[in-house]
Amino acid sequence: MSYLETLRLAVPETILVVAALSVLIADFTMRTSDARLRRVIGAMVGSVGCTAAVAWLLVMPAHAEVWQGMLVADPLTQLVKVGLLALTLLTLWVSVDSDFTAHVGEYFALILLATVGMMFLVSAEDILMIFVALELTSLSLYILTAFNKRDVKSAEAALKYFLFGGMAAAFMLFGLSLLYGLSGATNLKAIASALAGRALDPLLIVALVMVVIGFGFKVAAVPFHLWAPDAYEGAPIPSAAFIASGSKVASFFILAKVMMLGFAGVEGEGGWLEFRSGWVPTIALVAAVSMVLGNLAAIVQGNVRRLLAYSAIAHAGYALLGVLSNDGQGIGSLVYYTITYGLATLGAFGVVAVVGPRRGEALGAFAGLSRRAPLISMCMAVFMLSLAGIPPLAGFFGKFYVFAAVVNADMGLLWLVILAIAMSAVSLYYYLQVLKQIYVADEPADAPWLRVPVVIQVVLVLIALGVIVLGCLPSLLVGPLRHAVEAAGL
């Protein structure tokens, strides 16, 4: 257990830190240059970092654990990290044509640092490490939200996000410290074995609820979702896209790990009318209200970004079902779901980034887009239909996989699956509202001229192809996921 071994396991993260510093330095040397050029350079340096990290992860498979679970590398975490890096890479290029800040270097560096936080989060099985990584991610995201200094809404969004986030972090820290007090350990597995055989006493319940509150905030589940619509609406679009995609993947993964490993033994019972306290009914409740409230609130939204925020809340509900299945298949389905969801949401924000600055983000601003910009309209159709769960797109298989996994694990949770499927029927309505504007409505005569940058067009087409391919051939991701889950021994 040498430092060298630790460093070897943390090479991908190290590469990204180096990339973040390089972006800062590179941007510092060209402060007087054209802003777009600086953004392109920033994205390029960042992409090199991400690609190198992905390459390292793929070429040097590691399976080790150092410092009692402070840093765990196994095939599953490696796979999730590859997914995270891919989403980061796409986010970098979505940012290239968004002109909202003069501090280009800092912006790209923060995205990379947030990714480093997420990667450590994915690798951690120790509550201290989890908390530190979570804070690294969160702080970077708060700043990214506030990055548009010219816009009051951005500052307001960041303040809301920060205040809620700070509270949630406090709750989580309190919960984790209680957990430490109860078990005398910080490693998740050690906590579970120390708590084994212990009844669900009030102290443990408090610890559990506090931890659920902390993570519930991160994944924007009801009733801890209040920050999400404002943050999604106010933040610079690429930042919002990043919060909605990459950070969700990492947060859900670690939530599942904490619940499955740390709270093993206090699952309780989540079947309809057979509730017994534990973490399963708690999460089941949060999932149920998220799906209902997210979908119903999304129906009345007139702003596309707010609509995406409420849709994110609803999707948090679906994804929590993957946590509930509490087995290897469940976590596999969760990773598939969050990655494909992240892709579709990132793409949808990318389209908003094209239309928004010129025409606004109201639903009506998209009227007639299919005749003005057919290619990105087609991409938007793919993203919306994937989010609605229409086959053969990835969103459909994601839902099917999660639902099948949770029912397979516990038939009693069928009520939740029925609710989820009913609610996804509701969701088709508001996704179709967006597509109706794009394809059915006519463009108003006075609509401002629209420029579709080539870079973002390429990125959007790539994401759309990804969504289609992963939907038509889910085995491309499901196969490796299953192997990874088996190898990780979950």
Told to check if 421 binds another protein by CB under 8 A, we report yes
3-state secondary structure of 133: helix
Told to check if 417 binds another protein by CB under 8 A, we report yes
Candidate list 205, 289, 461, 478; residue touching another protein; CB under 8 A: 478
Q: Which stretch binds another protein (CB under 8 A): 12-20, 74-82, 314-322, 431-439?
A: 431-439
Q: Which stretch binds another protein (CB under 8 A): 16-24, 35-43, 153-161, 418-426?
A: 418-426
Contact 463, 350 (CB under 8 A): yes
Q: For every residue of 393-446, which 3-state class applies, written as one string?
A: CHHHHHHHHHHHHHHHHCHHHHHHHHHHHHHHHHHHHHHHHHHHHHHHCCCCCC
Tell me the C-alpha distance between 239 and 98, whole Å: 10
Told to check if 469 binds another protein by CB under 8 A, we report no
Nearer to another protein, 161 or 383 (CB): 383
Candidate list 7, 299, 418, 465; residue touching another protein; CB under 8 A: 418
Name beta bridge partners: 362: 303
Told to check if 349 binds another protein by CB under 8 A, we report no
Binding mask 4-43 for another protein (x = CB under 8 A): ----------------------------------------
Name beta bridge partners: 126: 187
Told to check if 414 binds another protein by CB under 8 A, we report yes
Q: 426: burial class by Cβ within 10 Å (0-12, 13-18, 19+)?
A: middle
Q: Which stretch binds another protein (CB under 8 A): 187-195, 273-281, 304-312, 421-429?
A: 421-429
Residue 165's closest CA among 214, 116, 199?
Answer: 214
Told to check if 452 binds another protein by CB under 8 A, we report no
Candidate list 26, 289, 390, 461; residue touching another protein; CB under 8 A: 390
Least distance from another protein to the Cβ atom of residue 408, Å: 5
Tell me the C-alpha distance between 411 and 160, whole Å: 40
Candidate list 26, 400, 450, 487; residue touching another protein; CB under 8 A: 400
| E strand or H helix that includes residue 65 | strand 64-66
Give the footprint of another protein on residues 366-385 (CB under 8 A). 378, 385
Nearer to another protein, 234 or 294 (CB): 294
Told to check if 296 binds another protein by CB under 8 A, we report no
Residue-wise DSSP of 56-102: HHHHS---EEETTTTEEE-HHHHHHHHHHHHHHHHHHHHHTT----S
Candidate list 15, 396, 437, 466; residue touching another protein; CB under 8 A: 396
Which two tokens mark 170?
Answer: 């406090």
DSSP structural state of residue 226: T
Told to check if 401 binds another protein by CB under 8 A, we report yes
Told to check if 468 binds another protein by CB under 8 A, we report no
Give the footprint of another protein on residues 191-230 (CB under 8 A). none
Least distance from another protein to the Cβ atom of residue 370, Å: 8
Nearer to another protein, 250 or 434 (CB): 434
Told to check if 412 binds another protein by CB under 8 A, we report no
Q: Which stretch binds another protein (CB under 8 A): 64-72, 248-256, 271-279, 400-408?
A: 400-408
Tell me the C-alpha distance between 111 and 326, whole Å: 31
Tell me the C-alpha distance between 270 and 280, whole Å: 6
Give the footprint of another protein on residues 127-186 (CB under 8 A). none
Q: Which stretch binds another protein (CB under 8 A): 76-84, 91-99, 231-239, 433-441?
A: 433-441
Told to check if 403 binds another protein by CB under 8 A, we report yes
Q: 197: burial class by Cβ within 10 Å (0-12, 13-18, 19+)?
A: exposed
Name beta bridge partners: 269: 276
Told to check if 61 binds another protein by CB under 8 A, we report no
Residue 329's closest CA among 269, 392, 401, 275?
Answer: 401
Nearer to another protein, 44 or 404 (CB): 404
Told to check if 461 binds another protein by CB under 8 A, we report no
Residue 219: count of CB within 10 angstroms of its CB: 27
| E strand or H helix that includes residue 66 | strand 64-66
| E strand or H helix that includes residue 456 | helix 454-472
Contact 366, 438 (CB under 8 A): yes
Nearer to another protein, 171 or 396 (CB): 396
Which two tokens mark 423?
Answer: 């609610």
Told to check if 268 binds another protein by CB under 8 A, we report no
Least distance from another protein to the Cβ atom of residue 411, Å: 7
Candidate list 68, 193, 408, 457; residue touching another protein; CB under 8 A: 408
Tell me the C-alpha distance between 401 and 337, whole Å: 8
C-alpha separations of 463 from 43, 117, 285, 382 in Å: 17, 24, 33, 10
Tell me the C-alpha distance between 56 and 132, whole Å: 24
Residue 141's identity, in one-letter code, is L
Candidate list 81, 474, 488, 490; residue touching another protein; CB under 8 A: 474
Q: Which residues bind another protein (CB under 8 A)?
A: 378, 385, 390-392, 396-397, 400-401, 403-404, 407-408, 411, 414, 417-418, 421-422, 424-425, 428-429, 432, 435-436, 439-440, 474-475, 478-479, 482
